[in-house]
Structure 1
Amino acid sequence: MTLIKSISGIRGTIGGSIGENLTPIDIVKFSAAYGQWIKTQRNKEHYKVVIGRDARISGKMVQSLVMQTLSGMGIHVVDLELSTTPTVEVAVTMEHADGGIILTASHNPKQWNALKLLNKDGEFLNAEEGQQILEFVDEGKVEFAEVDQLGKISYHNAYIDLHIEEVMKLNLVEVDQIKEAKIKVVVDAVNSTGGISIPPLLEMLGVEVIKLYCEPNGKFPHNPEPLAKNLSELSKKVVEENADFGIAVDPDVDRLALVDEKGEMFGEEYTLVSVADYVLSRRKGATVSNLSSSRALRDVTEKHGCKYYASAVGEVNVVAKMKEVNAVIGGEGNGGIIYPELHYGRDSLVGVALFLSLLTEKQIKVSELRSTYTSYFMAKEKIELTPQLDVDLLLDRMAEKYQGEEVSTIDGVKIDFAEEWVHLRKSNTEPIVRIYTEAKSQNKADDLAKRFITELKEMS
């Protein structure tokens, strides 16, 4: 069992020992540290934090602990109850709150839960802010409120509807066009809050919805990460129902995966690629993804005469780069769409609406749309580290060896060759070096990964 404290929050498995698992004591300590941090950001009389959770079984218990801890610090809480990560992000700004917490372990199995922390802009904390909270945890310097200054808890369960309304109001969401197309879609929401957000959005857009695992009871029917190996039932259902395509989201609804009308994966990397293609066709501007995302986004961006930028891995880094270059669309290759017209956070609801706008504009099948993009294939490997290994020195040597190629060192080492690339980076949570490669065939991607595993071992 596990407890992981990092600058992005705390996550772990429910049950077990204090300091080794995500126990009630650890939840309270971390919530209090976040509350203390909130009070350092602005000097004001009243503070407000928005809380929402995915549908996992431990959610109610964790949420009660978090809310009552913040109340004990004199912080008012807006409880969204069952919600999604992007909905909480939207709610923070609409409530003019001082921060927000999403209780979700994202794609991790049911025994996991986590606290994802947001700032007053509804965005994830940066490294410096996260480090401040970790210091509050370690030092235990937390001030609780006196009895007359306890925070109040209010309930607001309409934010998913408000979120949907905001999506439908976006200029690039062609509501009438989508309604006229008479689309049929199968939705696999892995029995979490995608089941109470994606189908209502689709229905508002006039789409016929076939629900698969849309009951938000937290009983995940399969591994909740929206990868091809976990979505066989969705693929089968799309074909059986003669649907136009299938939609899969993870438990907190910030990752979007698509299945075409033949039951074949559209490709998680190509969710962002296709949506960016649509946005750029209407509005020119920069795009951003992280260094480990597909080159296909760069191809599409340059096709529209625009500039592509790469950031370090991690949503907060993508967002920072998007703001720096004033990007019109960005995200991560795991199916995360960030559309700043609404907010700076991965959002499957926005992704669905923009994808439907593209599909109905082109009036082609999903498989035909996919064939319009260059096919790239990825390999993902890792090497376990030994205590005596100087990884930073190893990566410096690798960058020096390939200095004749296009090399980026903003997050590990990425080497861009003419038709393929490799990205080597040290994991923030495990004692491993991750090796990502991409090429125009799976064999070439696999071979490139094997080649660099060998080179790393020879250098160490």
Structure 2
Amino acid sequence: MPLIKSISGFRGTIGGKTGANLTPEDIVSSVAGYADWLLRSGATPKVVIGRDGRPSGAVVSALTAATLQSMGIDVIDCGHATTPTVEMAVKTRGAGGGIILSASHNPKEYNALKLLNAEGEFISHEAGQDLINTVESGNITYAEVDDLGTIQHDTTALEDHIEAILDHSLVQVEAIRNAGFRIVLDAVNSVGAISIPPLCEALGVECTVMNGTVNGQFAHNPEPLPAHLQDLIAEVKTSGADLGVAVDPDVDRLALVGPGGQWIGEEYTLVTVADYVLGLEPGPVVSNLSSSRALADLAKAHGQPYYASAVGEVNVVAKMKEVQATIGGEGNGGIIDPRLHYGRDSLIGLALVLSHLATSKKSINELRGLYAHYEMVKDKISLEHELDLSEALYAMEALYPDVPKSNIDGLKLDFPDGWVHLRGSNTEPIVRVYAEAASQARAQELAGGVKARFIEMTQ
């Protein structure tokens, strides 16, 4: 894929030609641009790094650490670490920023540099554009020999992350321990295998691990969608487990399977957590425009306001801070609990789900049956040629004059019985097409109709 530079960081495939893929030259220039921005911002010259299980991780990490040191920045290397672990370590280690080396749900040939500020949160659009301009200008000055940075290997960041979850005011540790839960985890051969089991052990939960070798040789497509998790569904069904859990390679997305192999899905992870949190600490709820209507329905049932943000963790966090949300996240299974930190986190997500199960005395299947039922379709349109997406989406608006719409992030069409959201991806050369309705058939119909008109219009 082309090298993509966005507010999500720098992402591409390993190998190939400079400027067209994520090559060593691109990694060095991108990290140097970030380091230059960090130093100009006056932040502490210390950066936390951590990587998922991808085969390229060690090489990308070595290049990243050496470049930061060459810019006069001290490095705290967490090695194999989840995205939320790195985010939290930035603050607990007093660092000026962080770099997560993970391409999230993308296949193993991809990697990425995900850039954090001193709060352990993704950098702003303005900061991202600033450092991209610096990278493209090549106007970067490296440190002289006596000013090179140091490197320190941190082996306790995960322990601190788990300890903070155990101390969390809403995590019912004793109730979970007394419930005797058994779960099955699909760790997709990445860092979920070294982070979720220790959390389960601390909570007294029996955890059976599938795909638990941290080598980045993903046993299936790493995005936690039902089509990719049939083995997990089958294992939960045959084992009699209380819960099936799937995480993506960097463990910021959490999908659930109920007893008997019932697919709960990543969209209802946030709904389940919000139901539990709102019962104890009422307040505003936030998700992005591509998330299920079920969360808005739930908030209304609890008598609390719901707000939608543009897609992207940085946008959800900004909206959560603006409205002082008690819980938020993205419908892709990303739970953001501001009591812990402003980042998507599967570990706190799982702990809150288990707390809900333990205190309600209900199975996840029973809880799912209490929430509004919607079916979602997630499709895409490949961009094979140059396209002014803003202009194309503006033209699409005119094709639906009587349909309520939002254009704060692409184009969302709110039909009476469902919605369709089209937006350009921050990480791939595609247009994402998400749709939701009361049935899979209707969601497919809505998505297919809008997608066909878009393709026809842009050919």
Fold-level match, TM-score > 0.5? yes
Q: 1:319 aligns with which of 308, 317, 320?
A: 317
- Give the 3-state SS of the residue equivalent to 2:259 in structure 1: coil
Q: What is the aligned partner in structure 1 of residue 5 from structure 2?
A: 5
Query: Cα–Cα, structure 1 residues 430 and 178, in superposed 2: closer, same or farther, change >3 Å?
Result: closer
TM-score normalised by structure 1 residue count: 0.95
Contact 1:89 1:100 in 2 (8 A): yes
How far the C-alpha of 1:157 sits from its partner, in A, is 1.0
Q: Is the 8 A contact 1:7 1:134 kept in 2?
A: no
Q: Per-residue CA shift, 1:177-196, capped at 9, x if unaligned?
A: 10110100111111211111
User: How many Å apart are 1:358 and its aligned residue?
Assistant: 0.6
Partner in structure 2 of residue 14 of structure 1:
14
1:405/1:10 Cα in 2 relative to 1: closer, same or farther (>3 Å)?
same
Structure 1 position 219, deviation (Å)? 2.3
Cα deviation, residue 390, structure 1 = 5.4
Per-residue CA deviation, residues 298-325 of structure 1 (Å, 9 max, x unaligned), is: 0111110000001111111111111111
Corresponding position: 1:167 with 2:179:
no
* Aligned counterparts, 1:26-425, within 5 A: 26-42=26-42, 47-383=45-381, 391-399=389-397, 402=400, 404-425=402-423
**CA–CA distance in 2 between the matches of 1:388 and 1:26?**
23
Shift of 1:20: 1.9
Distance 1:211 1:404, change over 3 A: same
The secondary structure found in structure 2 opposite 1:196 is: helix
TM-score where L is the length of structure 2:
0.95
- Name the CA shift for 1:84/1:439 in 2 (closer, same or farther; >3 Å): same
SS at match of 2:245: strand
Secondary structure of 1:447 counterpart? helix
Cα distance, 1:385–1:190 mapped onto 2, change above 3 Å: closer
Distance in 2 of aligned mates of 1:84 and 1:301: 30
State the Cα distance separating 1:427 from its structure 2 match: 3.8
Compare 373-382 and 80-89 and name the one that shifted more: 373-382
> Secondary structure at the residue paired with 2:299?
helix
Change (3 A) 1:395 1:219: closer
Matched residues in 1 for 2:81 and 2:384: separation? 41
Question: In 1, distance between residues paired with 2:188 and 2:76?
Answer: 26
Determine if contact 1:189/1:250 at 8 Å carries over to the other structure: yes
Quote how far apart the aligned CAs of 1:435 are: 2.6
Classify 1:427/1:196 alpha carbon distance in 2 versus 1 (closer, same or farther; 3 Å): closer
Q: What is the SS of the residue equivalent to 1:186?
A: strand
One-letter amino acid matched to 2:77: D
Could you tell me which amino acid in structure 1 is paired with residue 251 of structure 2?
Answer: V
Structure 2 letter corresponding to 1:258:
L
Please tell me whether the aligned partners of residues 4 and 428 of structure 2 are also in contact (alpha carbons under 8 angstroms). no
In the aligned structure 2, how far is the partner of 1:155 from the partner of 1:413?
Answer: 45
Amino acid at match of 2:230: S
Q: For residues 212 and 432 of structure 1, what CA distance do their matches in structure 2 show?
A: 31
Question: Which amino acid is the alignment partner of residue 112 of structure 1?
Answer: Y
- Aligned partner letter, 1:122: G
CA separation of 1:434/1:196 partners in 2, compared to 1, >3 Å: closer, same or farther?
closer
Distance 2:310 2:101 in 1: 25
1:399 to partner: Cα distance: 3.7
Tell me the distance in 1 between the aligned counterparts of 2:146 and 2:395.
61
Matched with 1:434 is: 432
Report SS of the residue matched to 2:435.
strand
Closer/same/farther in 2, CA of residues 117 and 458 from structure 1, 3 Å limit: closer
Work out whether residues 262 and 367 of structure 1, in 8 Å CA contact, stay in contact via their aligned partners in 2.
Answer: no
Question: What is the alpha-carbon distance in structure 1 between the residues aligned to residue 381 and residue 52 of structure 2?
Answer: 33
Secondary structure at the counterpart of residue 10 of structure 2: strand
Deviation per residue, 1:92-146 (Å, 9 max, x gap): 0111110000111111111111111001110011211111111111111111111
CA distance change for structure 1 residues 113 and 384 in 2, over 3 Å: closer, same or farther? Answer: closer
1:395-448 per-residue CA deviation (whole Å, 9 max, x = no partner) reads 335445656554222112222233311223244455654332211011111111
Residue 197 (structure 1) shift: 0.7
Displacement of 1:231: 1.2
What is the identity, as a one-letter code, of the residue corresponding to 1:249? Answer: V
Unpaired runs of at least 5, structure 2: none
Letter in 2 for 1:99: G
Q: Does the 8 Å contact 2:8/2:427 carry over to 1?
A: no
For the residue of structure 1 that corresponds to 2:149, the secondary structure is coil
The 3-state SS of whatever aligns with 1:309 is strand
Letter in 1 for 2:33: A
Relative distance call for 1:126 and 1:242 in structure 2 (3 A) is same
Partners of 1:165 and 1:455 in 2: CA distance: 51
Cα RMSD (Å)? 1.9
Q: CA deviation at 1:282?
A: 0.6
Instruction: Classify 1:332/1:26 alpha carbon distance in 2 versus 1 (closer, same or farther; 3 Å).
Output: same
Range with greater deviation from structure 2 (235-244 or 403-412): 403-412
Q: Residue 188 of structure 2 contacts residue 222 of structure 2 at CA under 8 Å; is this kept in 1?
A: yes
The count of residues paired between Structure 1 and Structure 2 equals 458
